[in-house]
Amino acid sequence: MACGENPNILEYRAGQAARAALRHEPNEERSTVDFLLDNWVLVAVAAGSGLMLLWPVISGGVAAGVDPTQAVQLINRDKAVVIDVCTPAEFAAGHVAGARNVPLDQLAERLPQVVKDKSVPVVLVCASGVRSRRAAALAKKLGYERAVSLAGGMAAWRAASLPVQRG
């Protein structure tokens, strides 16, 4: 640190901080910016974590999930169509009564054939809610604005003691 007769502002501030540290005084000049610069790794990790948590909301890529009670309301009140995106074998083992089976890998191609009116609410269902979230996001991209995923899938549906149809 050069301390000539005319130190520049950085040298002046550095000198102030050093003198404050030697005197064990709180450094009045240390600002939030200094803290952020000194701890940039922590700040980056915190910002990254926050962004990852908010990403689904920011990107709009993940459709909202509904619980079984909300799904029943959509089905009964708003005449929602239930699309089960499981494999045919999973579907045969048990599905929401009245659901149509469109496996996830066929959804983009078949959903417009199965649900022609894109304004109708569509409840997407799978075994435990992972595929149905992806399916709901895809359905939204296809123009089904009211597509939702059944959070927790058939597991949540069964846990709520709601009727399961086989075959």
Catalytic site residue 86? no
Show the site string, 139-158: x = touches ligand THJ by CB under 6 A, - = not. Answer: --------------x-----
Catalytic site residue from 102, 122, 123, 126:
126
Distance of CA 61 to the CA centre of its chain: 8
Among residues 121 and 153, whose Cβ is nearest to ligand THJ?
Answer: 153
Which residue is at the shortest CB distance from ligand THJ?
127
Residue 84 CB, shortest distance to ligand THJ, in Å, is 10
According to CB under 6 A, which residues from 83 to 142 bind ligand THJ? 126-131
Among residues 66 and 126, whose Cβ is nearest to ligand THJ?
Answer: 126
Residue 162 CB, shortest distance to ligand THJ, in Å, is 17
Q: What is the dihedral of CA 69, 74, 77, 80, to 10 degrees?
A: -140
Residue 129 CB, shortest distance to ligand THJ, in Å, is 5
Please report which residue ranges of 23-151 form alpha helices under DSSP H: 32-38, 40-59, 68-78, 88-93, 107-114, 130-141
Residue in the block written with tokens 């059944």: 150
Q: Distances in Å between the alpha carbon of 63 and those of 10, 57, 59, 132?
A: 50, 9, 10, 9
Q: Is 164 in the site for ligand THJ (CB under 6 A)?
A: no
Residue partners of 16: CB distance under 8 A and separation at least 6: 27, 29
Among the listed residues 109, 110, 96, 87, the one whose alpha carbon sits nearest the alpha carbon of residue 149: 96
Residue 26 CB, shortest distance to ligand THJ, in Å, is 54
Residues classed as catalytic = 126
Contacting positions for ligand THJ (CB under 6 A):
126-131, 153
